[in-house]
């Protein structure tokens, strides 16, 4: 899926990334655990026991859910242009959540210890309007770089400067 199809003719793309694959971590651990449990149950039951079949079907369902989520992740994009912020999601039903940059009144950038370890962060944007299509974007990769890029757009180029020796 290309984000270019959602851009206006005069819009300039600044950032276009997939969210961090860590967002699938819990499902991956659940799938791994389900397969381990199914294998353990299979080893401790008599051959052709119906319970073993049920456990394997449940484990395969958990693995299938992980595969579906991985396909969804592959089609998702977080896009920042010179005019707006978009989160494009959905494999079968496409959803484009959007927030114009001129409406952003406040932006919070968070990095949990896990996010710092694996290299992702979260952005929470507040806007002047009552309802907004996009408020929170989790699992943003390269969050320091993207935070600076968004800050430059919202607050102007002079507000954010990269100086040699500054830590990100």
Give the full edge-to-edge strand order of the sheet including 84-89.
13-17, 77-81, 84-89, 95-100
pTM: 0.80
Print the domain residue range for 34.
24-72
| Residue 124 located in a structural domain | no
Reduced to 3 states, what is the DSSP secondary structure of residue 90? coil
| Residue 89 located in a structural domain | no
| Residue 103 located in a structural domain | no
| Residue 15 located in a structural domain | no
- Which of residues 80 and 104 earns the better pLDDT score? 80
Residue 167 in this model has a pLDDT that exceeds 90: no
What pLDDT sits at residue 21? 96
| Residue 34 located in a structural domain | yes
Residue 110 in this model has a pLDDT that exceeds 90: yes
| Residue 113 located in a structural domain | no
User: Of 22-26, 31-35, 148-152, where does mean pLDDT reach its minimum?
Assistant: 148-152
For the chain, the domain total comes to 1
- CA dihedral of 51, 54, 55, 56, whole degrees rounded to 10: 120
Closest CA to 150 of 96, 80, 83: 80
| Residue 54 located in a structural domain | yes
Cα(67)–Cα(7) distance, integer angstroms: 29
Query: Residue range 55-84: average pLDDT?
Result: 95
| Residue 82 located in a structural domain | no
Closest CA to 147 of 114, 110, 117, 118: 110
């Amino acid at each position: 899926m290309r984000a270019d199809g959602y851009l206006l003719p005069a819009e300039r793309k600044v950032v276009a990334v997939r969210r961090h694959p860590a967002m699938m971590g819990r499902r991956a651990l659940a799938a791994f655990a389900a397969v381990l449990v199914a294998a353990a149950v299979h080893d401790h039951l008599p051959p052709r026991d119906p319970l073993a079949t049920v456990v394997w079907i449940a484990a395969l369902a958990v693995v299938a859910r992980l595969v579906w989520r991985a396909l969804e992740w592959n089609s998702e994009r977080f896009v920042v242009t010179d005019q707006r912020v978009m989160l494009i999601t959905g494999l079968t039903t496409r959803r484009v959540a959007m927030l114009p940059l001129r409406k952003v009144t406040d932006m919070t950038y968070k990095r949990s210890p896990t996010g710092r370890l694996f290299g992702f962060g979260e952005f929470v944007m507040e806007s002047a309007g009552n309802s907004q299509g996009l408020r929170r974007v989790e699992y943003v990769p390269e969050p320091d770089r993207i935070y600076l890029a968004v800050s430059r757009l919202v607050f102007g180029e002079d507000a954010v400067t990269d100086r040699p020796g500054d830590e990100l």
